[in-house]
Amino acid sequence: MKLLLFIICQIVSATSTLNVHDKMYTQLNAVTPCIVRLNGSQSFGCTSERNGNVGVIHIVYNDSDWKWVLDSERTDSYVIVLFLKNFTLNNLQKLNNSEQINGVLLIQEESNNCCKEFSFSPEDVCPNRYSGLAAPNINKEVCTDHEPWNPLTDFSYISMHKWRIPIFFSNDKDTIMQIEDCFRKFNLPLSTQLDRALCALKMSAHMFGSVDSTTCIRRSSARYNINPVRYCDPLGDENVYVPIIPFDKFKNLNRDYVIVAARLDSTSLFYGLASGSLSTATSLVALLLTANLLFNLTQNNNRRHFKKNVLFILFNGEAYDYIGSSRVVYDIENGQFPFKEKPINMDDISLFVELSQLRNDTFTTYHTYHSADKNVTRFINIFNKFSKMRNFSVNLNSIESERLPPSSFQNFIAKANISGFIFSSYSRVFKNKYYHSLFDNNANVNYKYLNETDIANDTLQAFIANFATVFAYSLFNEITEQDADVNVSEIISYRMADELLHCYIDTTDCKFFADTGFDVMSLLTSKLDYYVGVTLVRNRITTLTKLALMYLTGKYISASNRDDCASKSNMAYWLSGTSKCLESAVNVSDAVSPAFIIPEYDLSEGKYSSWTESSWLQTDIRMFLKPSSKYEWLVFIIGMFVISTSFVTLFWLKHNARELFNYPHLITASSL
């Protein structure tokens, strides 16, 4: 009897230490998951099991560590920790195919210049391969695997696959140290792992959306679904635009429009880390500055008499099969853009200029679709003239080919014969080593905020300022057919370019956004993320850019307070920060794919962007000590022993109850 009690006590204490072990979780901060996105016929990205994936940590420092993972017969499941150099498509596929691998964590501090030697773009080598001019109903070949726009590397296509396992990223020094410490302390040496408790990770990133957009949208809206669960949501946001002459005041008979476009979004494999400096920010800032100067140059003229109007527009969601621009084209075709009352037609567009991946470079390329397009040639000649006048040494190379780079322009040219071109820093292949990745940051564009100190003329700031200045004068000439006073002092200063680049490349907690006077303090968390996100949520970048464009192109009108301001004009905004009233023609339009507004549209058709983002409840990583498998077996065996002994004991008690307790009438078979 005493022996039995002793065993029971031992077991209770053993299981309780097990429980304590189990609960010793450390939540790892500063980790970012890869999530699931879906198009009309497939899903992409990463997911964990519903309750998370557990695996013993194994950090791959060298090739023998790697061999150990794949060659050995292990009983445990592992989470593999990789550095960027080994985070290749090939390696990930091997891990994905190995049943013992339960997750992958990429750790890489950016500070130590880790990544200069790599070109890390997990994107397709032909971004937006199936849309724009390549859409099924147009079917022009603009990119092939043999002649890609985004160079092929060992990391290409990672974003274009569906992974069975969760993949996380951390660049946080402390987090990385915690993981490495725990690994060294508990998991090394590898040869004796069987006997010990091991350091493990539990990765939770369960994605509800699966199969494809068609399936998950149908499930989300299923009529039999009493309590509708959203499995996925369409990607999208708003396009931001401003015409130099308000639409209702532009009465010229020819109704010519020059469209100046850039994109407002970028993306990345890891959620919330779309830094987009070269893919988005530099061109976006160049557009904002150009608009600012062009509005200033035309301030004193009567704009209504201009022969042409200029429409500055920032397209959103372009990373996902041109959501924004395909919607604008769709709206134009349906007489809905910008509004029903004053629609723009395709024929009204006499020139389309797009800015794409601009950077400090003496060589800038312009890509045209039709050779010897007179409208383009004329504009380029003007640009060269002003460029010389400003001593802005840019060599413009022309690429005339039907192989247009990925661009919003593709959607326009697919529908109408429009003159246009794309200004870019690349000619036949991107110079961006980190296209659509988290390393497309300030280092990628060689940018350093100079905070009102002297700015040299060979910096990115100078390049963008000079470019915007020359571009604005060229546009002025284009719409007025007269030269602006090239000797006027109105130019974009390097400092102004510096302040805007700082906001769009480093942090939104910056001087320029603060100076606008908009009541956006709540928006001023420093996080920069160019990912378009789902239509239900406004992206911060969109809101801030709309305000920035208002500030840069609006004019102050006198008003004493908010109500007074609102009564002066329907385009007036009260700036609570500076107590001023700003009148501006900036507006937004839906950047939601036509696929989600056309009734009964078949999302698998591929004519319009069909991208959705999976929903999820939580994503996190916890670190804990996992008891050794020997220990777990021991607990299991003891457990089985307890169960069987208790049955035996019970049986024995039942049979001997009379002798043991002397209460014969209380114990009966039915009460047991």
Binding-site ranges for ligand NAG (CB under 6 A): 39-42, 61-66, 85-86, 91, 93, 96, 130, 160-164, 256, 292-293, 296, 350, 360-362, 370, 373, 375, 390-391, 393, 417-419, 446, 451, 457-459, 485, 487, 490, 492, 604, 606, 610
Tally Cβ neighbours within 10 Å of residue 582.
25
Mapped onto helix, strand or coil, the DSSP state of residue 648 is helix
For ligand NAG, the closer of residues 542 and 545 by Cβ is 545
- Please tell me the distance from the alpha carbon of residue 306 to that of residue 46, in angstroms, as a whole number: 53
CB 258 within 8 A of CB 636: no
Rounded least distance, CB 538 to ligand NAG, Å: 25
Rounded least distance, CB 218 to ligand NAG, Å: 15
Mapped onto helix, strand or coil, the DSSP state of residue 507 is coil
For ligand NAG, the closer of residues 221 and 451 by Cβ is 451
- Please tell me the distance from the alpha carbon of residue 206 to that of residue 165, in angstroms, as a whole number: 10
Rounded least distance, CB 650 to ligand NAG, Å: 47
For ligand NAG, the closer of residues 351 and 588 by Cβ is 351
CB 266 within 8 A of CB 319: yes
For ligand NAG, the closer of residues 230 and 370 by Cβ is 370
Amino acid letter, residue 519: D
- Please tell me the distance from the alpha carbon of residue 559 to that of residue 553, in angstroms, as a whole number: 18
List, in order, residues 6 or more apart from 107 with CB less than 8 Å away. 81, 82, 83, 169, 170, 171, 175, 176, 179
Mapped onto helix, strand or coil, the DSSP state of residue 387 is helix
Q: Which of 124, 242, 234 is nearest to 532 (CA)?
A: 234
Rounded least distance, CB 113 to ligand NAG, Å: 15
Q: Which of 467, 278, 263 is nearest to 363 (CA)?
A: 467
Tally Cβ neighbours within 10 Å of residue 579.
13
Using alpha carbons, list the distances in angstroms from residue 472 to 297, 367, 389, 500, 506: 8, 19, 13, 17, 26
Mapped onto helix, strand or coil, the DSSP state of residue 613 is strand
Rounded least distance, CB 412 to ligand NAG, Å: 10
For ligand NAG, the closer of residues 54 and 259 by Cβ is 259
Rounded least distance, CB 226 to ligand NAG, Å: 30
Rounded least distance, CB 70 to ligand NAG, Å: 9
Rounded least distance, CB 669 to ligand NAG, Å: 54
For ligand NAG, the closer of residues 345 and 446 by Cβ is 446
Rounded least distance, CB 510 to ligand NAG, Å: 8
For ligand NAG, the closer of residues 193 and 419 by Cβ is 419
- Please tell me the distance from the alpha carbon of residue 287 to that of residue 281, in angstroms, as a whole number: 10
- Please tell me the distance from the alpha carbon of residue 426 to that of residue 77, in angstroms, as a whole number: 45
For ligand NAG, the closer of residues 19 and 299 by Cβ is 299
Rounded least distance, CB 330 to ligand NAG, Å: 16
- Please tell me the distance from the alpha carbon of residue 163 to that of residue 46, in angstroms, as a whole number: 5
For ligand NAG, the closer of residues 264 and 479 by Cβ is 479
List, in order, residues 6 or more apart from 647 with CB less than 8 Å away. none
Amino acid letter, residue 201: L
SS3 annotation, 509-534: CCHHHHHCCCCCHHHCCCCCCCECCE
CB 625 within 8 A of CB 198: yes
For ligand NAG, the closer of residues 78 and 542 by Cβ is 78
- Please tell me the distance from the alpha carbon of residue 347 to that of residue 246, in angstroms, as a whole number: 19
For ligand NAG, the closer of residues 314 and 414 by Cβ is 414
For ligand NAG, the closer of residues 66 and 339 by Cβ is 66
Rounded least distance, CB 293 to ligand NAG, Å: 4
Rounded least distance, CB 84 to ligand NAG, Å: 9
Tokens of 497: 């370019």
Instruction: Name the residue number minimizing CB distance to ligand NAG.
Output: 40
Mapped onto helix, strand or coil, the DSSP state of residue 422 is strand
Rounded least distance, CB 188 to ligand NAG, Å: 6
Q: Which residues pair with 243 in a beta bridge?
A: 311
For ligand NAG, the closer of residues 286 and 492 by Cβ is 492
- Please tell me the distance from the alpha carbon of residue 579 to that of residue 175, in angstroms, as a whole number: 45
